[in-house]
């Protein structure tokens, strides 16, 4: 394809001219244009990956490198994997993900630092003074964020801080020992460790608005008012087929209006069993809708899909009775959901999206006005 020397808009227009039949005639035989389309819009199209298949499964590797521009480690950067014993760090999994991304020119999202799940027992069952827990947190951040400093652009520093149904803060280990300001403390600490990284709060059940979303909005506003280095909100987006929020772009815009960036960090759309062909077809529009919502919001950095294919999705285990939540089937064949993402990205990039608009966003309004709490 002769695209050398063209501007981003010209390139994508040329690309679209060649691929225009997609919209009318269904899927192209090769969806390898997806990364180029995403980049032309200035967004990432990411996927969460597991270490073993990334190392050994050719079909898995082909899906990842052929369709996505960014990786998130589904589990291997979580605390229980990185620091299973105090002071004992396991780098083979995280290194595998980082090296795969870098050798394929992909971006990385870091997931995750403070969460109530997948903590090693020495951490979750320890009896800590606040000074000790701060020290433990600093050691962990310095080791993990420090190891990949300058290579992982954004980190989910705080994961799922609100109770499942909201709107109250979850009384996790960090809350119990450090108090509710643990969120600000952790963001300051992360900012010290990697001053260039964009720092996120990542949450679920906020995408369509409501009390939990409002509570997160109030928290984010307060943090920004205090000059805390919060740069983005992750919309996890674990949706149920038939219940994908119409107003996703509107909810995102509420947060970007605060000066934050947003990212769809963990998209899947689970279908109740028995999974019908009709539902699989309808899922195309749901994936299209989510990607289109991101393109509609100038501060949206991208969409990451949670799982390479249905055989590797967390859904059947965690939500018994549901399945088929990702854009590839159990044999790595593309599903209509994949073409839904192609549909969304096939529109012409706007003037704003085609450039480097997203690279410079995520600045904290007013800058940093307060010193870190130690």
314 touches ligand XIL by CB under 6 A:
yes
- Could you please report the per-residue DSSP string of 98-156? HHHHHHTT-EEEEEEEE-SSS--HHHHS----HHHHHHHHHHHHHHHHHHTTTT--EEE
Helix H segments across 194-301?
211-225, 248-256, 277-296
- Using the minimum distance from each CB to ligand XIL, give the nearer residue, 93 or 349: 93
Q: How far is the CB of 196 from ligand XIL (least distance, A)?
A: 23
Q: Per the residue annotation, which of 33, 74, 203, 266 is the catalytic one?
A: 266
Identify whether 266 is a catalytic site residue: yes
Q: Per the residue annotation, which of 33, 65, 74, 160 is the catalytic one?
A: 160
298 touches ligand XIL by CB under 6 A:
no
- 67 within 8 A of 32, measured Cβ to Cβ: yes
- Using the minimum distance from each CB to ligand XIL, give the nearer residue, 174 or 339: 174
Listed in order, strand segments (DSSP E) in the chain are 44-49, 70-73, 107-114, 154-159, 198-203, 232-235, 238-240, 261-272, 300-305, 322-323
Q: Among 69, 76, 205, 236, which residue sits at the site for ligand XIL (rule: CB under 6 A)?
A: 236
Q: Under rule CB under 6 A, which residues in 127-166 are in contact with ligand XIL?
A: 159
- Using the minimum distance from each CB to ligand XIL, give the nearer residue, 185 or 266: 266
Handedness of CA 190, 193, 199, 203 (dihedral sign): negative
- Three-class secondary structure of residue 352 per DSSP: helix
Mask for 258-297, x = binds ligand XIL (CB under 6 A): --------x-------------------------------
326 touches ligand XIL by CB under 6 A:
no
Q: How far is the CB of 69 from ligand XIL (least distance, A)?
A: 20
Give me the half-sphere count of Cα atoms (radius 13 Å) on the Cβ side of residue 101: 28
74 touches ligand XIL by CB under 6 A:
yes
- Using the minimum distance from each CB to ligand XIL, give the nearer residue, 74 or 323: 74
Q: How far is the CB of 113 from ligand XIL (least distance, A)?
A: 11
Q: How far is the CB of 137 from ligand XIL (least distance, A)?
A: 18
Q: Are strands 107-114 and 70-73 parallel, antiparallel or unpaired?
A: parallel
CA distance 334 to 24: 18
Q: Among 13, 19, 61, 75, which residue sits at the site for ligand XIL (rule: CB under 6 A)?
A: 75
Residue 310 DSSP label: G
Residue 52 DSSP label: H
- Using the minimum distance from each CB to ligand XIL, give the nearer residue, 92 or 130: 92
* Residues that bind ligand XIL in the complex, under the rule CB under 6 A: 74-75, 159, 236, 266, 314
Q: Please list the active-site residues.
A: 160, 266
């Amino acid at each position: 394809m002769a695209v050398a020397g063209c501007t981003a808009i010209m390139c994508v227009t040329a690309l679209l001219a060649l691929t225009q039949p997609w919209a009318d005639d269904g899927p192209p035989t090769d969806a390898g244009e997806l990364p180029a389309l995403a980049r032309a819009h200035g967004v990432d199209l990411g996927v969460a990956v597991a270490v073993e298949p990334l190392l050994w499964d050719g079909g898995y590797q082909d899906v990842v490198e052929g369709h996505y521009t960014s990786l998130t480690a589904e589990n291997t950067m979580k605390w229980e994997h990185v620091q299973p014993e105090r002071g004992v760090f396991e780098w083979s999994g995280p290194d595998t993900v980082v090296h795969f991304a870098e050798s394929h020119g992909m971006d990385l999202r870091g997931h995750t630092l403070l969460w109530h799940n997948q903590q090693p027992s020495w951490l979750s069952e320890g009896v800590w003074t606040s000074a000790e827990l701060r020290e433990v947190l600093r050691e962990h951040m310095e080791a993990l964020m420090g190891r990949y400093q300058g290579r992982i652009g954004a980190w989910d520093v705080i994961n799922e801080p609100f109770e499942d149904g909201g709107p109250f803060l979850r009384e996790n280990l960090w809350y119990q020992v450090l108090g509710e300001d643990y969120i600000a403390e952790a963001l300051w600490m992360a900012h010290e460790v990697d001053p260039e990284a964009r720092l996120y709060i990542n949450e679920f059940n906020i995408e369509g608005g409501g009390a939990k979303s409002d509570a997160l909005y109030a928290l984010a506003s307060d943090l920004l008012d205090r000059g805390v280095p919060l740069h983005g909100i992750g919309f996890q987006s674990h949706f149920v087929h038939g219940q994908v929020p119409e107003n996703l772009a509107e909810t995102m815009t509420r947060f970007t209006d605060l000066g934050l960036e947003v990212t769809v960090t963990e998209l899947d759309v689970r279908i109740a069993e028995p999974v019908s062909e009709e539902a699989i077809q309808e899922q195309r529009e749901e994936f299209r809708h989510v990607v289109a919502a991101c393109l509609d919001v100038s501060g949206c950095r991208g969409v990451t899909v949670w799982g390479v294919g249905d055989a590797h999705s967390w859904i059947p285990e965690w939500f018994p009775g549901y399945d088929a939540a990702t854009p590839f089937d159990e044999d790595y064949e593309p599903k209509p959901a994949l073409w839904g993402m192609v549909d969304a990205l096939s529109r012409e990039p706007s003037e704003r999206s085609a450039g480097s608009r997203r690279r410079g966003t995520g600045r904290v309004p007013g800058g940093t006005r307060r010193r870190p709490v130690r």
